[in-house]
């Protein structure tokens, strides 16, 4: 199942800005799903402003109803859906509860058939359930607390406010994290259980000694490392990152250190050879993905070396989280 984040709040509370930054922090090329239909000049201007606020790394998909049809483009991405209110509006239009004006001078036509609103809510909830059944996506939904505003005049408008509240509850129940924005400030309403909260009794003192002794013994074994080079792992507490630097062991016929393509690596003033590649990650998993999956020139061929690095990345993450001193084996 997908990871789901719900960002809610009033008008101009900072919802979209928070959701956008959240996606950018966890994904290099996030996806923006625009659920809005352009029905007047003001809406067109609002959309243009949002597009301008997003950088070129964003991919924009315009979809009004069946968002799940874009599953292939969502795979492996952080997907910002902006917003649930307009998405629900589209289902109201589809079921005939509303009719949008054809010109700027016309008003919205509102139906008196409340069954249309019930059917619209049912369909949008079904589509949401289908959408978040995709397992390899993080969805960030933006919504509005319109029930906190002025009491609507028309029956169908009141029905829309009710349906929006019920849709928000439906999404919130499924969400891993719910954020309420007030005056640009995020307030966590719901968040996952911390992974470092103990669920079982800790190891007793004797078992801890046994573990430490075993690790110390295994650290003295000989390992066949890569002939092309080696990694130095460290923790940079100034930027809150785990760092991994790859240094080359490749020498040319003159004894000069070369990179993986055979180019000579110049030394600095202190005759120190710089790393061929430097990686910085917030977690062991992020760092492992950078090194093993996203680096096309990764020279690691030994499973022993790969598993060693994985353990070091995990040790470094624990040191970063808990403030421990990190030393590479």
> Mind telling me the catalytic residues?
50
3-state secondary structure the chain: CCEEEEEEECCCCCHHHHHHHHHHHHCCCCEEEECCCCCCHHHHHHHHHHHHHCCCCCEEEECCCCHHHHHHHHCCCEEEEECHHHHHHHHHHHCCCEECCCCCCCCCEECCCHHHHHHHHHHHHHHHHHHCCCCCCEEEEECCCHHHCCCCCCHHHHHHHHHHHHHHHHHHHHCCEEEEEECCEEEEEECCCCCCCCCCCCCCHHHHHHHHHHHHHHCCCCCCCCCCEEEEEEEECCCCEEEEEEEECEECCCCCEECCCCCECCCCCCCCCCCCEEEEECCHHHHHHHHHHCCCCCCCCCHHHHHHHHHHHHHHHHHHHHCCCCCCC
Residue 227 near residue 221, CB atoms below 8 Å: no
Q: Which of 247, 244, 254 is nearest to 227 (CA)?
A: 247
**198: Cα separation from own chain's centroid:** 26
């Amino acid at each position: 199942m997908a990871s789901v984040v719900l960002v809610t709040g009033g008008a101009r509370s900072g919802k979209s800005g928070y959701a956008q930054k959240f996606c950018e922090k966890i994904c290099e090329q996030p996806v923006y799903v625009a659920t809005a239909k352009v029905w007047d000049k003001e809406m067109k201007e609002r959309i243009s402003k949002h597009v301008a606020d997003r950088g070129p790394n964003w991919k924009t998909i315009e979809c009004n109803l069946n968002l799940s049809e874009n599953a292939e483009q969502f795979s492996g991405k952080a997907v910002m859906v902006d917003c649930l209110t307009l998405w629900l509006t589209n289902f109201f239009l589809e079921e005939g509860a509303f009719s949008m004006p054809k010109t700027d001078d016309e008003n919205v036509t509102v139906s008196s058939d409340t069954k249309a609103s019930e059917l619209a809510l049912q369909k949008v909830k079904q589509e949401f359930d289908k959408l978040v059944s995709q397992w390899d996506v993080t969805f960030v939904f933006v919504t509005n607390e319109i029930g906190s505003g002025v009491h609507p005049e028309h029956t169908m408008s009141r029905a829309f406010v009710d349906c929006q509240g019920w849709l928000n509850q439906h999404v919130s129940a499924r969400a891993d994290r719910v954020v309420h924005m007030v005056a640009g400030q995020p307030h966590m309403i719901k968040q996952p259980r911390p992974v470092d909260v103990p669920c079982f009794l800790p190891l007793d003192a004797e078992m801890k000694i046994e573990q430490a002794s075993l690790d110390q013994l295994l650290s003295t074994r000989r390992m066949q490392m890569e002939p092309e080079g080696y990694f130095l792992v460290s923790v940079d507490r100034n930027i809150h990152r785990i760092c991994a630097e790859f240094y080359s062991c490749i020498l040319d016929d003159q004894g000069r250190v070369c990179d993986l393509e055979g180019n000579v690596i110049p030394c600095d003033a202190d005759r120190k050879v710089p790393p061929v590649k430097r990686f910085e990650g917030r977690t062991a998993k992020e760092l492992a993905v950078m090194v093993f999956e996203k680096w096309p020139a990764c020279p690691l061929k030994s499973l022993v070396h790969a598993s060693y690095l994985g353990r070091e990345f995990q040790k470094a993450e624990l040191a970063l989280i808990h403030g421990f001193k990190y030393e590479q084996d």
